[in-house]
Chain A
Amino acid sequence: MNLSIVDTGRVPEHGQLVADSKPSLLLGEHSLCPGCGEPVALRVLLEVLQELDIVGRSIGVVGHGCYGSFVRIMDVDVLQCLHGRAPSCATGIKRMRPDCAVFTLQGDGDMANEGLQEVLHAAARGEKITCVMLNNGVFGDTGGQLTATTVLGQRTKTSIEGRDAELHGYPVPVADLVAKLAGAAYVARAAVNTAGAVAQTKRMLRKAFRCQLEGRGFGLVEILTMCPTGWFVTAPDGPGYLSDSMEKTYPIGELVAP
């Protein structure tokens, strides 16, 4: 079965072409669930690399989660690293190849659970790398369990009645923690649940990479992504659920900017 995106090549009357149907850095289709926000974030990230004209010196370091499958479809040099360790691996790469644009692609399970100290230390050291955290508040890859960023009240397979602070503790706002560190040059929280939010995500990623290229310091863009499967909602309800739940705990906006 051919699952390719339908590209009619036509722009509707009064319409405006805002993006190519398929960025040239995508080598194939993603295999994630309908309504997932992660492929949207990947697309925006790849477009930013192209727009900044840094593709030929870009190196990605990818952690473990659903987005790990992007290693196969992104036309970027990639180190697929251990769970949580991407900021450290990226540090080693960037220190030895300072002219490269080095970024990590991690989820909330990867960055906030397994590797929280890695991202905090990398930020404190002011490593000139760009970390991208896809935050959907759930372990999508293993089928929907509680992560450190699951918001209060959110139902997961290991918090089936909803996250209860007494039982499960409170969610970890990674961007806010990183923003407190002097080595952080750019910290922002974005989302991909509306067209406007996607455009804003792109602007934030562009700024984060610029900070790296200008040698200003560490950059983090935490992107809230839909996970309808892990949230027990339908795909069309994902964007609304994100606004009503995650965005209340994790406000969108820039926390640190030059």
Chain B
Amino acid sequence: MSRELLEGSAAIAESAIAAGCRFFAGYPMSPFTGLLENMSQRLPAAGGVCINAESEIEGVNMTLGAAAAGFRAATGSCGQGIALMQEAIAEAALNETPFVVFNMARSQQDYFQCTRGGGWGDYRTITLAPADVPEAVEHTQLAFHLADKHRAPVIVYGDPLIAQTRVGVSIGRRDFGPVPAKDWALDGSTSGTGRSKQVWTWAMGKATEPGPGPDKHWRAIADKFDAIEPLEQRHEQEHCADAETLVVAFGSAGKFVAYVVDELRAEGHKVGWFRPVTLWPFPGPALEAAAASARRVLVFELNAGQMVDDVRLNVPDRRRVQRIGGVSISESGLTYGELMDAPIIRQRILEAVR
């Protein structure tokens, strides 16, 4: 595969198209806007449709429609825009319509709304958190695969560094294995046959062929997410075996932390790092093992403390957990503030170690 120098938004757009995405709808919001522009410029040439939707709510519901028709489809936004989409993301989880949501977030304050689900009902949202552009290219294709594999919406949690950094990357179709046929997709061909199809959160079926109904259907959905939880956990870690201090971070922050921890290791500090790649399902058992020898578990995230809840739930002794991140937003409000800086992360780790 040849390497191209692409801005993250362009690389993700190309990767989505390579994955077979043929429908995209979104509403401009920085730093998601670049992905919308790239899709609008690149998708039609691939035979797809991109709509500059009039609102996030309309964008995500158009995407749900395209996905219900059986096509690989995606939408995206960040922060408040994702919040507006949560009703439809929940609906898609419950009526089992697979699509991808690109949350090109301004910071890490969307952890709760990605992993807990901001919508109604018993569901979870599979959330991939790439650390850089090449991983985002990979995750884009993995997201479409996981969506189809599990018939569920999947979020890719990016950020300004991923959206706006130019990197040499290889696009090209990744093969993650087979996915189930979309025999549930609506194409009108079963209308009038007595066996017409239905995509319905309540799953009540037709008068002639009753469905399971909400109670059984929602239990089955809950069971499905229970089954996904151990199956799809992904993480990266380094220097954990003898680490007295373990630093946990996700996304771009995870890449910064890995850089700083590698430096500290080289200087002789017994530090390790752990990066959840899937935020849901959270790689809890792996973190528990990685933290086994650690006297302290430091959580660096650019928010007031969201992922720290999952860390506390999974380390052997939650009293060892300490937050070293915080809310940190630039003056513009559109990207990270001063905390996203290697010297500051280094200083905060060393302060905790002392």
- State how many angstroms separate the Cβ of B76 from the closest Cβ of chain A: 15
In the complex, chain A residues whose CB is within 8 Å of the CB of B54: 117, 121
Are A92 and B25 touching (Cβ within 8 A)? yes
Give which listed residue, B57, B64, B205, contacts A92 with CB less than 8 A. Answer: B64
Measured in the bound complex, the distance between the Cα atoms of B196 and A95 in whole Å is 21
Give which listed residue, B191, B197, B205, contacts A57 with CB less than 8 A. Answer: B191
Residues of chain B in range 49-81 having any CB-CB distance to chain A below 8 Å: 49, 51, 53-55, 57-59, 61-71, 73
Residues of chain A in range 197-255 having any CB-CB distance to chain B below 8 Å: none
In the complex, chain B residues whose CB is within 8 Å of the CB of A118: 57-58, 61
Are A89 and B191 touching (Cβ within 8 A)? no
Are B23 and A59 touching (Cβ within 8 A)? no
**Contact digits for B147-181, partner A, Cβ 8 Å, 1 yes 0 no:** 00000000000000000000000000000000000
Tell me which of A59, A76, A78, A96 has the highest count of chain B C-beta atoms within 10 A of its own C-beta. Answer: A96
Q: Which of A23-31, A134-142, A151-159, A169-177 contacts B (4 or more CB under 8 A)?
A: A23-31
Tell me which of A57, A71, A90, A117 has the highest count of chain B C-beta atoms within 10 A of its own C-beta. Answer: A71
Measured in the bound complex, the distance between the Cα atoms of B91 and A59 in whole Å is 19
In the complex, chain B residues whose CB is within 8 Å of the CB of A193: none
Residues of chain B in range 83-99 having any CB-CB distance to chain A below 8 Å: 87-88, 91, 95
Q: Is B2 an interface residue (CB 8 A)?
A: no
Measured in the bound complex, the distance between the Cα atoms of B65 and A72 in whole Å is 20
Q: Is A34 an interface residue (CB 8 A)?
A: no
Are B66 and A93 touching (Cβ within 8 A)? yes
Are B61 and A85 touching (Cβ within 8 A)? yes
Are B200 and A78 touching (Cβ within 8 A)? yes
Measured in the bound complex, the distance between the Cα atoms of B30 and A121 in whole Å is 23
In the complex, chain A residues whose CB is within 8 Å of the CB of B198: 71, 77-78, 80
- State how many angstroms separate the Cβ of B329 from the closest Cβ of chain A: 30
Give which listed residue, B58, B197, B205, contacts A117 with CB less than 8 A. Answer: B58
In the complex, chain A residues whose CB is within 8 Å of the CB of B53: 88
Measured in the bound complex, the distance between the Cα atoms of B208 and A25 in whole Å is 12
Measured in the bound complex, the distance between the Cα atoms of B146 and A164 in whole Å is 53
In the complex, chain B residues whose CB is within 8 Å of the CB of A113: none
Of all chain A residues, which has the CB nearest B210?
A72
Measured in the bound complex, the distance between the Cα atoms of B53 and A228 in whole Å is 39
In the complex, chain B residues whose CB is within 8 Å of the CB of A75: 191-194, 196, 206
Are A80 and B199 touching (Cβ within 8 A)? yes
Are B200 and A71 touching (Cβ within 8 A)? yes
Give which listed residue, A82, A97, A125, contacts B69 with CB less than 8 A. Answer: A97
In the complex, chain B residues whose CB is within 8 Å of the CB of A101: 188
Give which listed residue, B61, B88, B191, B197, contacts A56 with CB less than 8 A. Answer: B191
Tell me which of A49, A50, A58 has the highest count of chain B C-beta atoms within 10 A of its own C-beta. Answer: A58
Residues of chain A in range 50-92 having any CB-CB distance to chain B below 8 Å: 50, 55-59, 61, 71-82, 85, 88-92
Q: Is B1 an interface residue (CB 8 A)?
A: no
Q: Is A100 an interface residue (CB 8 A)?
A: yes
In the complex, chain A residues whose CB is within 8 Å of the CB of B332: none
Are A85 and B88 touching (Cβ within 8 A)? yes
In the complex, chain B residues whose CB is within 8 Å of the CB of A74: 196
- State how many angstroms separate the Cβ of B257 from the closest Cβ of chain A: 39
Give which listed residue, A55, A73, A96, contacts B22 with CB less than 8 A. Answer: A96
Are A58 and B194 touching (Cβ within 8 A)? no
In the complex, chain A residues whose CB is within 8 Å of the CB of B49: 95-96
Of all chain A residues, which has the CB nearest B194?
A75
Are B69 and A96 touching (Cβ within 8 A)? yes
**Contact digits for A20-52, partner B, Cβ 8 Å, 1 yes 0 no:** 000011011100000000000000000001100
- State how many angstroms separate the Cβ of B131 from the closest Cβ of chain A: 32
- State how many angstroms separate the Cβ of A61 from the closest Cβ of chain B: 7
Of all chain A residues, which has the CB nearest B62?
A92
Measured in the bound complex, the distance between the Cα atoms of B90 and A81 in whole Å is 12
Are A88 and B65 touching (Cβ within 8 A)? yes
Are B23 and A25 touching (Cβ within 8 A)? no
Q: Is B187 an interface residue (CB 8 A)?
A: yes
- State how many angstroms separate the Cβ of B54 from the closest Cβ of chain A: 4
In the complex, chain A residues whose CB is within 8 Å of the CB of B196: 74-78
- State how many angstroms separate the Cβ of A65 from the closest Cβ of chain B: 14
In the complex, chain A residues whose CB is within 8 Å of the CB of B189: 56-57, 77
Measured in the bound complex, the distance between the Cα atoms of B343 and A196 in whole Å is 80
In the complex, chain B residues whose CB is within 8 Å of the CB of A91: 51, 62, 65
Measured in the bound complex, the distance between the Cα atoms of B186 and A94 in whole Å is 11
In the complex, chain B residues whose CB is within 8 Å of the CB of A117: 54-55, 58
Measured in the bound complex, the distance between the Cα atoms of B224 and A195 in whole Å is 50
Are B61 and A82 touching (Cβ within 8 A)? yes
Given contacts A75-B194, A89-B68, A92-B62, 12 further A-B contacts (CB under 8 A): A25-B192, A28-B206, A56-B192, A73-B206, A77-B186, A77-B191, A79-B65, A81-B61, A81-B65, A88-B61, A89-B62, A92-B67
16 contacts between A and B (CB under 8 A): A24-B192, A55-B191, A56-B193, A58-B188, A71-B204, A73-B206, A77-B191, A77-B196, A78-B197, A81-B64, A82-B88, A85-B64, A88-B62, A93-B69, A96-B65, A97-B188
Residues of B near any A CB (own CB < 8 A): 22-23, 25, 49, 51, 53-55, 57-59, 61-71, 73, 87-88, 91, 95, 186-194, 196-202, 204-208
In the complex, the 5 A-B pairs of residues with the closest C-beta atoms, listed nearest first: A92-B65, A28-B207, A89-B65, A92-B66, A88-B61
